[in-house]
């Protein structure tokens, strides 16, 4: 079932970083159709564990061409924090 933007109130639809990050996290935790909100806490994502962030960071580096410092990534608890790091480190 394909979901539409209106199925996710508050989703920043026009922001490709959130949309792509949702795809990356969904693939990492094997949860198709997962859509993240800025306030989503990674620990609340079904299937999330300590290795999930490692996989997400590898994909973020591959897709966005940015390397998020591991110390900064360790501080990320919410999706918006990782998105901000991606923006800061994007050339």
How many CA atoms, within 13 angstroms, populate the side-chain half-sphere of residue 56? 29
Q: Which domains does the chain have, with CATH numbers?
A: 11-89 (1.10.1200.10)
Over residues 36-64, the pLDDT tens digits come to 889 999 999 999 998 999 999 999 999 99
pLDDT band at 22 (very low <50, low <70, confident <90, very high): very high
78 Cβ contact list (under 8 Å, min separation 6): 38, 39, 40, 41, 42
Predicted pLDDT of residue 35: 83
């Amino acid at each position: 079932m394909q979901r539409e933007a209106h199925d996710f109130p508050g989703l920043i639809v026009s922001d490709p970083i959130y949309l792509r990050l949702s795809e990356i996290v969904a693939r990492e935790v094997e949860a198709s159709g997962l859509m993240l909100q800025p306030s989503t806490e990674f620990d609340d994502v079904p299937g999330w564990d300590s290795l999930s962030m490692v996989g997400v960071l590898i994909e973020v580096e591959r897709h966005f061409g940015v390397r998020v410092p591991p110390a900064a990534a360790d501080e990320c608890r919410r999706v918006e924090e990782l998105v901000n790091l991606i923006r800061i480190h994007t050339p």
